[in-house]
Amino acid sequence: MRSLLINHSYLGTGDLFAPSRWLEKLRHPHQHATQCQYRDKELTVRWTRRAQRQLQEREEPLLVEMQLYFSCMVKKRVLFHPADFESDSEIMPVTQQLSVTVRTVQSDQCDPVEFARHYPGKRKLDTPGAKKMRPRELTIDFKQGQWEGEFSI
pTM (two decimals): 0.71
Query: Where on the phi/psi map is residue 108: left (φ > 0), alpha (ψ -120 to 50), or beta?
Result: alpha
| 41 and 100 co-located in one domain | yes
pLDDT for residue 123: 63
| 24 and 35 co-located in one domain | no
| 111 and 52 co-located in one domain | yes
* Parent domain of 125: 31-152
| 110 and 147 co-located in one domain | yes
| 51 and 24 co-located in one domain | no
| 16 and 72 co-located in one domain | no
| 67 and 3 co-located in one domain | no
pLDDT for residue 75: 81
Cα–Cα distance, 49 to 51 (Å, whole number)? 5
| Total domains, the chain | 2
Phi, psi of 132 (to 5 degrees): -75, -20
Facing residues of 122 across strands? 107
Contact 88, 124 (CB under 8 A): yes
Q: What is the CATH number of the domain that holds 40?
A: 2.60.300
- Average pLDDT estimate for 46-72: 89
